[in-house]
Structure 1
Amino acid sequence: MKVNARKSNIHLSIHNVISESSCILDSSADVVSTSGADDPAYYLNGEYVGEDPAELCSKVLFTCYMASEHSSAGTRACADGLANDINSNHSSVFIDTIVSAVLTVFSLAQGFVPSFSSKDPREGLALQNIQARLRMVLAYLFAQLCLIAKGRTGGLLVLGSSNVDEMLVGYMTKYDCSSADINPIGSISKADLRKFLRKVHDDYGMTSLKAVIESVPTAELTPLVDGEVAQTDEAEIGLTYDELSVIGQLRRPHGLGPYGTFLALCSMWHPKFSYEQIEEKVKRFFWRYRINRHKTTVATPAYHATEYSPDDHRNDHRPFLYPDMAYQFEKIRLKVVELNASKR
């Protein structure tokens, strides 16, 4: 049983759909009739749950859209639409009062109030992180108390919602929605997650997924501009999710480091990208990878589903502390000079 905090449309849609699909598979199996049924697979805390996947999903899946003043109407519509399609036990809340309370405590202690308009980027980042971390706290509160509110026994598990690409470059906050009891999508790239959603949309007719698939990935942690989202994942990372997926798979299972990745991408991406552009993308990826690899040590264990999973707990036991990669980066730079000279 699960409680889902809001992170991005695609991530939350994926594990909600996985949960719903599990309900459909369970309910489509050969089952005994309700009279005299004793198969424990069809009982939840001693109560027979029947064979209807929508009914089962409403009992085992709790979802919560945790909005802030920075959330858009589009993501709210996506959350409500998907919850309706899968029949989850859904609620929507605003976290602004909690964020304000925490910032008040800080300002009383330190004598200043952080602002998104500050020239110091640390202030804006701190304001984003406190939203993300409070969503984790709230998710666990819901997990512990939702069934009590419904007059039911038992407890809930919290599902994490960070993917491979975010984990590789550290585009996540420690102890936010990446921290949970289990992460069903932690070993899957964003590109493959989109493919999965398209298949579910086509095979199961979940119409709400169309808007999710077409949405621009965003954390929605910074102020809106004229009511529209100004923050996007790919702009902040400096790489597209498709590019991250390719580079991530060159890293594992192909086992390439910065220089080997650069050479491989030259044959894959040139002349679409210049050698200098490929150099910049490789350096950007591995710089982020190097400084953020430590985050994998506290990430929620992921369901192991791919060869390219970076899960530090069960699968990918690489170092989590790295020196700078000046040697590799310089080697790439010299190779760019050599490749450009050979074209003349």
Structure 2
Amino acid sequence: MAISRGLRCCQRIFSWIPVVIISSVVLWSYYAYVFELCFFTLHNTLEKVTYVLVFHVCFVMFCWTYWKAIFTPPSTPSKKFHLSFSDKERYEMEERPDVQKQILIDIAKKLPIFTRAQSGAIRFCDRCQLIKPDRCHHCSVCETCVLKMDHHCPWVNNCVGFSNYKFFLLFLSYSMLYCVFIAATVFQYFLKFWVGELPNDRAKFHVLFLLFVALMFFVSLMFLFGYHCWLVAKNRSTLEAFSAPVFQNGPDRNGFNVGVRKNLTQVFGEDKRLWLFPVFTSQGDGHYFPLRTLCESQNPLLASEGRWGEDGGSDEDSTDGEVEHDPSVTIDVEY
């Protein structure tokens, strides 16, 4: 037991290594750009002031979004998705798989759940002892179920999901902007150092590596950011892109795709003035989402206490609880 705790402690320590690497590179880039380039290399005062001001705007937004992506805890399912003491006892004492499956089905009727496991059974997490909401998955690194889990990112040492997906996207975008600004402003001085127009001092080393590092990170970030833009437009998570969510009628990669505009709104919110700032504006509570094949009035985005109250039941249909998955009823999809 002590060895196991020691291993977990070492794992937690080592998991911060990628964050330390990124932070070290960023701090070095700050010193190299502000001091070695702007203060020691530039002689034009207007150019120097302009570069420093714009650089600090990019630097602050990068640090702000990176901080939010790292330290925003993943959202976990509410207590309504956990088995009650009696249900848990009944489930664990039952040895017949078919009866266990039926127990979960009966409990799930009281919850807004539309997805299923590959076998068609209710998605249940044995480790967290809860019925998984739609788009929720268990993260073995965080050791918890995460709402609308996208992936576990080692570069932020955090699970990217419902609570911080917007922050992660902004982190990628401001990282690209940070790299582009550095590369664009450093390039002319890189050429001057290269051809010998500027003195061969220590600033040359920093300026040369600034350009290489900025371009290297930009290329890698460009592909990752482009991929996530495509995911947002399709309303898919990384996990759903590799394995389509399963509904009552079978797998459907576009099950949550309700149109580009509405997909964007789910992640960034209605107020476009806040889209570029790392403040939480995503719609809903992460427990369930509009479905492409269901009427919006039957499957609202925002959780309603009237729909699944403290007792877990539904005021609209206490006997059924779950809206039938009727493919003949559709909503207008905007592409």
Under a length normalisation based on structure 2, what TM-score does the superposition of the two structures give? 0.27
Under a length normalisation based on structure 1, what TM-score does the superposition of the two structures give? 0.26
